[in-house]
Amino acid sequence: MRVIAGEHRGRRLTAVPGKGTRPTTDKVKESIFNMIGPYFDGGWALDLYAGTGGLGIEALSRGAERAVFVERDARAFSIVQQNVSACRLDNQAELYKNDASRALRVLAKRGMAFDLVFLDPPYAQQNITGEIELMQELKLLSDGAWIVAEHDVDITLPEVVGHCIQYRAAIYGDTAVTLYYFEEERDEPAEEAAT
């Protein structure tokens, strides 16, 4: 595993020991950033199930201003800390050892809003649609934000989740990536006029 492009290109990242964490492969990571590349321009990133921190670190390497990493597993959290420090990104990173929904509420209380969100939960615990809804409810998405959801190939995510519109989906072996675009002012279907 390595950083693919940007300021820290080529830097190797430490993996989490054991099989409890499924890191995003370099091939999938490169494909994700090829998808969002033309639309990704700085801003704040959220790596909600950080694992090794590879996606958030890649975003920082490619020009994100700051990244927040959330990981509840102690071993994985320690690896995220190691990888962030190895890339000398401590000043641009915030790390939370917490579960996803609690962390989202803490970030919302701080008034944070993200331009790029990575959702790569363990396949057995996926609630991607619910988390996209919660992020909108808590006002954690900047207008024009991108959400990258990595999930089991057998799961089909909805075309629209609130104000998030599915922009693209791709399959890489047993992994699927679905990309959503958040438009705060998206027109709702016109309701029938009352008579």
User: How does pLDDT run across 40-72, given as a tens digit for each residue?
Assistant: 778 999 999 999 999 999 999 999 999 999 999
Which one-letter amino acid corresponds to residue 63? G
Percent of the chain topping pLDDT 70: 90
Per-residue tokens: 105? 């509420």
Beta bridge partners of 119: 149
Handedness of CA 23, 154, 118, 59 (dihedral sign): positive
Whether the per-residue pLDDT at 188 is higher than 90: the answer is no
Widest pairwise Cα distance in the chain: 65
Mean pLDDT of the chain: 88
170's tokens = 């791709």
- Give this prediction's pTM: 0.89
d(CA 104, CA 123): 20
Helix (H) or strand (E) holding 93: strand 93-96
In tens, the pLDDT along 66-122 reads 999 999 999 999 999 999 999 999 999 999 999 999 999 999 999 999 999 999 888
2 vs 14: CA distance, rounded Å: 9
pLDDT band at 191 (very low <50, low <70, confident <90, very high): very low
CA separation for the pair 169, 61 (Å, rounded): 24
